[in-house]
Structure 1
Amino acid sequence: MGETVGLIVNPAAGRDIRRLTGGASVVDNYAKRRVAECVLEGLTSVPDPPTALVMPDTARIAASAAEEVPDAETALLDLAIEGSAADTRRAAARFREEADAIVVLGGDGTSRDTALECGEVPLVSVSTGTNNVVPTAVDGTVAGAAAALVATGAVEEQDVTYRHGMVEAHTASGETVTGLASVELSNRSFIGTRATLDPADLAGGIVSRANPADIGLSSVAGAIASLAPDDSGAIGLRLVDPDLAPRTGRAIVAPGVVAGVGIEDQRHLAEGESMTVDVEEGVVGADGERELELVDELVEFRSAERGPRLVSVATLFEAAAGTGVFED
């Protein structure tokens, strides 16, 4: 097949309860299909375009996009789908063996599911989700062109990608929750609608990046410290009622929600270092979505051993500008 770019589109991204209760933007399937079409057009920007290997989805978003872009060479990944996050993970595992680059359309959750299985294949993560800390708000055509430049070797991969950290929570009973930007501990007793909405629910957790411009726990950590996505280690936090806290800050805790938070403890955790919390009752989540209910559990938070390799789009095009790849 030659050089190949895998394309993952999550039809569920950008459609959770935060678009109703907060200020999260709505990205419907039509908009995602248009972005996917632009990605495929972007692949044709290099002299010998790579083939797009498209993950099937329940809404036929990517497959429909392929039909609308006849100039792009496309193939449908042979994969049985069930309409869950497992589809993304199984597609990413296939792309680990069959693709030279991957374009992901979704939010933090979709990027995380891809990162867990894609190995060393470079990712171009495009924001079409609700929680968009990691995915970039980049035009689909630009994203497709970036993936094509990486896949075809027009730029040196090591010069235009960086290793994004990941973080984990491990329970004494053997459960693990992995996050790309953050793993959160809430004092809620049930998962419910999954989305973390109320700042009073946050009890702490761990982040792989900290910046006030991020969303969720990464924004909370960024109120008093900074951690770049490719910095080593992580930041662990314990949060309390602002009236009882030694330090307070304001943060973007969810799309459309800015609130004051009380920071009881915030510390940098070096590689191999962890923070443990005794939880009487609560829920651990990842990247803004609650996942695991806990009762009388000891939880250890730490950085993961290895995160995904993300493409820096701006750096990539600077590197490509002098190569002549765009000259006719």
Structure 2
Amino acid sequence: MISRTQNHLSKINRSVGIIVNPNSGKDIRRLVSNAFVVPQQYKSNELLKLYEGLLNEGISKVFIMPDFSDVSRRARENYANKIETVILKTNRLDEESTTIESAKKMDSLGLECVIIFGGDGTSRLVSSHLSNTPILAISTGTNNLFPENIDGTIAGIAVGKFANFDKKEAFLIKTKKLDIFFNEQYVDSALVDIVVTDIPYVGARAIWSMDSISEIFINKIKPTGIGFSSIGFKLLKNLERDESIYVKISENKNNSQTEFFSPIAPGKIEKIFVDNWKLFKKNEIIKIQTKKGTLALDGERRLEFSNKNNPSVKINYNGPTCLNIKEILSN
């Protein structure tokens, strides 16, 4: 019988990165819907389980983003003699810049993978600052479509197995994203959806009502999805890998072409009034019709715009490179 220690020695020691968003599962949506608050204890437990999975597959070193709550402390202490944990040094803590700085440092280290605990927004932010490093995003919020809903133990096993594969390309998936342009100049991207609102300022960032929404670009749908992307699933049950959906919300509810109910937030179902919608593919540029407002990327208002910006959206097939969990665990 081979012991775990012997099993570790038989494998090449590889390193991975971990980014845990300390603020995920805590935004204003908890006040305006029935979304639950995700405590740090939950994230700490997931890290403990992740470490166990990593250890079982021979991973002996991890690099992790720092945070005020020190969410990795229990995992570090419990596995101190088995897995070396390097806490990165950043200029600030618990800010967007912390995530960006950590992602850039991890990318420069040549790690096998970066594991992300957060939501769609965290996945978007981290992946936008990684050039060559694949990711495994794990959901620690609500109504997320991009991250995986998997246990930390399984995530650790999958990442460890992937790190020890010789031909890794066969176990990766290249995803697409939606690029935003102002006056034909690239500005930002979204992984799941872009929601156009007539709210003139970013403010609290979150959006929770259809009243202010005029247009939606949807890049990813799931039958079990909650959020504005669920509107896309109501219109089209299957979205091909090279396609995205554009939806124009009716200004006049009495004159809409299509009406249906959709779960736009946990415990919040609203009637949706659609003027028209269409599929768009490669090289097709969709101009935003709304004259002034904000663009919400993956659930958060991020960009303010006016007609002077001439905003437009286009599919980019060079999105984040993700671990194919099913393929990895099947080998």
Give the alignment's TM-score, normalised by structure 2: 0.88
The one-letter code matched in structure 2 to 1:126 is I
Partner Cα distance (1:224, 1:50) in 2 = 47
| 1:271 paired residue among 268, 271, 282 | 282
Q: 1:196 offset after TM fit, Å?
A: 1.1
Alignment partner for residue 75 of structure 2, among 42, 62, 65? 65
AA at the equivalent of 2:153: T
Deviating beyond 6 angstroms after TM superposition, the runs of 4 or more aligned structure 1 residues are none
Instruction: Give CA deviations for 1:14-68 in whole Å, capped at 9, x if unaligned.
Output: 000112221212211121111112111110111x324111111232112453223
- Stretch deviating more after TM superposition (256-265 or 11-20): 256-265
Instruction: Assess, with a 3 A threshold, how the Cα gap between structure 1 residues 312 and 258 changes in structure 2: closer, same or farther.
Output: farther
- Tell me, in whole angstroms, the C-alpha distance in 1 between the residues paired with 2:231 and 2:223: 7
Pairing of 1:142-291 with structure 2 (within 5 A): 142-153=154-165, 156-172=167-183, 176-228=187-239, 231-241=241-251, 242-291=253-302
Q: Give me the whole-angstrom Cα distance separating, in 1, the residues matched to 2:168 and 2:255.
A: 48
Cα separation, 2, equivalents of 1:25 and 1:123: 26
1:309 aligns with 2:309: no
Q: CA deviation at 1:181?
A: 0.7
Superposition CA RMSD, Å: 2.2
Residue identity in the other structure for 2:79: V
The separation in 2 between residues aligned to 1:164 and 1:271, in whole angstroms, is 14
Q: Is the 8 A contact 2:179 2:316 kept in 1?
A: yes
2:145–2:221 CA contact under 8 A, matched in 1: no
**Given that residues 121 and 309 in structure 1 are in contact (C-alpha distance below 8 angstroms), is that contact kept between their aligned partners in structure 2?**
yes
Measured after TM superposition, the shift of residue 116 of structure 1 is: 0.5
**Cα offset, 1:260, TM superposition:** 1.7
> Please, which moves more after superposition, 4-13 or 172-181?
172-181
Change (3 A) 1:226 1:167: farther
Q: Does 1:299 align with 2:279?
A: no
Is the contact made by 1:102 and 1:147 (CA closer than 8 Å) also made in structure 2? Answer: no
Q: What TM-score comes out, normalization by structure 1 length?
A: 0.89
Which residue identity lines up with residue 133 of structure 1 in the other structure?
A: L
Deviation at 1:256, TM superposition (A): 2.3
Return the alpha-carbon distance in structure 2 between the equivalents of residues 37 and 75 of structure 1.
Answer: 16
Whichever residue aligns with residue 53 of structure 2, its letter is G
- Measure how far apart 1:173 and its partner are: 8.5
What is the aligned partner in structure 2 of residue 87 from structure 1?
A: 98
2: CA distance between counterparts of 1:236 and 1:106? Answer: 26
Structure-2 change in CA distance of 1:226 and 1:122 (3 Å): farther
Query: Distance in 1 between the 2:97 and 2:276 partners?
Result: 35
Contact 1:280 1:295 (8 Å CA) reproduced: yes
Larger Cα-atom Rg: 2
In structure 2, give the amino acid aligned to 1:184. Answer: V
Q: Give the 3 Å change call, closer, same or farther, for CA 180–151 of structure 1 in structure 2.
A: same
Contact 2:179-2:186 at 8 Å conserved across structures: no
> Which residue of 28, 40, 52 maps to 1:41?
52
Number of equivalences:
316
